[in-house]
Amino acid sequence: MTTSTDSSTAAACAARDRLPLGPDLDLAHAAALREELLARAMRGDLHLDLGGVSRCDLAGLQLLVAARASARANQQLCTLHTLSGAVRSAGATFGIDLESTDQP
């Protein structure tokens, strides 16, 4: 049973563990960001804060989709928090749903 205290503790923990991304989530930054995401995934669930992303292209979206797929394959979560307008727009342009919640 989850209590409100458990929920607020979990939310605070998730906020503390969030990895802020941006301002560019694009081809020029994808390789370096991939390495950082792989290192973070070795420690557990991924919580990615996308609120600071002002530029996002298909390579950036591919990185997010791959991170979610990899987490799912490893029985982990990859949660995308605070999607910026740039991320939402890129997702809509390429028909990629970033709003859905992944569960392991």
The residue ranking higher by pLDDT, 12 or 40, is 40
Structure tokens at 26: 């694009």
DSSP readout, 81-104? ES--HHHHHHHHHHT---SSPP--
pLDDT of residue 14: 59
pLDDT of residue 36: 92
pLDDT cut 70: percent of the chain above it: 82
pLDDT at 30 over 90: yes
pTM of the model: 0.81
Residue partners of 21: CB distance under 8 A and separation at least 6: 33, 48, 49, 50, 52, 53
Mean pLDDT score, 48-75: 95
Domains of the chain: 18-94 (3.30.750.24)
